[in-house]
Structure 1
Amino acid sequence: MLKQLNSIRYMYIRSHLYGLILNTFILLSILLSIYVWFQPDWLSAGAILMFMLLYIVIGFIMSLYAGFRSSGDVKHRLDYISMMITQLSRGNFSKRIYFNENDEIAAVGDELNVLGEKLEQQKDSLVKLADEKSELARTAHKAATIEERQRLARDLHDAVSQQLFALTMMAQATEKIFDRRPEKAKEQLQEITQMALQAQTEMRALLLHLRPVHLSGEPLTEGIKTLIEELRQKCQIDFDVDMEDLGDLPTSVEEQLFRVVQEALSNILRHANASEVKVEATHDQKEIFLHIADNGVGFDTEDKKANKASYGLKTMRERCEEIGGSYSLRSRKGEGTHIDVRVPVKVNVKGEEE
């Protein structure tokens, strides 16, 4: 009820009533002044009272009528404007309103029409940009897929393919000298066994690199532990895993860190010739610290050309930078390799107060 009394129609009625009250007081003052000063015979106190009562009753009725009539057009035009705003808020930017009058309300309607045109243009631009972005994403994905295939092809050719070719040649040679020189054949068989194990390790590293990036709903720590458990069953490497509960992390952070661990383990399998690997993950509420170390052959970090794992190391650095983290590498020949990753992210662990 109070809301209706505050509507534009009742505002018009109140303004007419205010005018009626003001005119009543002015007219009453004039009549009383004439009655006091001049005291004409035709003007008496009863006549003044009767006149004022009739004036108030008739004026009240006319105020109601005039208020409803004069506010009707304004109310309808404001309703159209309100409907226009509702349509714009719902995304219907093609809606337009037009008024025959040339006043402030019509100017507001024209401004809303201009706003609708601009919003419609922006919507078309955003749709176009979204299509272009989708196309660029498909192109980038296609290019990344081609690049990854080329890289895997190079790795297979440089490592596994050449090792298998060497195995074939040595096996043929061993077969020819087996009866004549059994001791030499036995030595070559041992070499064949070592080369087969190396080829198997290379293949496992490539398969590890091809593992899907998605964690299938698992937390990061559980995904890493599952990955290492699979490697324990396939490789003669002692894994030392020490991982704290990292809580709920953004999906992008989890995926990139999981990829970093994958890449690091792949490099260890292929190049480090390590017997021990340590994986640590800790946090201090403000950042995550990831440490991966091995006791392998190591390499000279300054010798970029001789570094066979340079592509993988570059990829790990880029993944860390994408999530705002820092990446550091320490390695020396004969002393293994140490990789440290720090990612600034707030860690909320279940059971701890935020």
Structure 2
Amino acid sequence: MELSQLPLVLWNSIESYDNVYSKQKLETDQERPKAKVSIKPAQHVFRGDTVTLRCDIDGEGVTSWQYSWYKDDSSYSTSELQEHTFRSVTESDAGKYFCYGAERGGSRSSQDSDAVTLTVSDRPQAVLSVSPQKWLTEGDPVTLICEVYGSSTGWTFSWYNLTASSDNRYHFQRLSDNSRGAGGNYTVSSAALNHTGVYVCRAERGEPAYKTTFSNTQPVWVTALIVFSGVSPRVSLIISPSRTQHFPSVSLSLSCEDQRNSDRWNVKRYTDRWGLQDCSSSVWGSQTGSTCTISSTITSDTGVYWCQSESGENYHPVNITVHYGVVLESPVHPVTEGDTLTLRCLYQNSTPPNLSQSSLRI
């Protein structure tokens, strides 16, 4: 007999049974507590992070649960522990997780939790920027902004002053921490000459702490506020030949002149190609006393040079360029109102190297 030919009474019996079963199942599900999954420190984490999945079940009268974990709809683990921890998470741990619980020694069980997605990415990179600009005058405000791309929560930020020793090994002097969040700001409300330097940042989160790599470097240059009092600055960087633009393949001398002769000074530099370096390194220059000599300049010597004391104080940054063709000969240091200023264009292949000259009173 075909199903369509079943007696109407039998159809009504089947339909009535289905309705009763559905109603009982709904009532049973409503009575069963629903499990809930949470992830710490976040659903988007990075390789090497410590990650904890937690299954919470609010089951009245149940004192002990057996927790079952599922990943991507497949059984993953069963444990009496409420938490499942990855000590050093990898990309293979990424996926959708849910849990449910069964009463140990009893008959009750929970509903399945909603699934949560764990995403694992490469080790994060902190990114440092400077606002409003890198070249400042004494008294200007400046902010170092540290961010972690691809993640927005749970980070604590630290800033470091980067220094280089005579063997060009880097050392990190920690400045400060900031509040947690998507990014952190380290603000100096009134820049001083000694804030000249090269900075990096790093972020960390979790317990034990998981740290990002160090950020890109960001230099900050603070120049003296010109006060027409006739008082010379304590430390000056004396350049010979006395200009900021130079030709390749010539000798260049840089000397730190201390008005009080109280410290031995080293010449430091920061270039796009080589980063932070000390002149006493044999790689690019040689230092005698407080004088640094570059025997034969090359274009990659273009950068910012300044004086640093043995105690780490930084003074008088000067932007020096090395290039072919024509250079402008102008004063290295600021001039005073009313002085006569002479500007001269020099051509590398002329003898003497002189194109034109102009004088003006400012």
TM tier, smaller: under 0.3
Greater helix fraction, Structure 1 or Structure 2? 1
Report the structure number with the largest CA radius of gyration: 1
Give the number of the structure whose residues are more often strand, by fraction.
Answer: 2
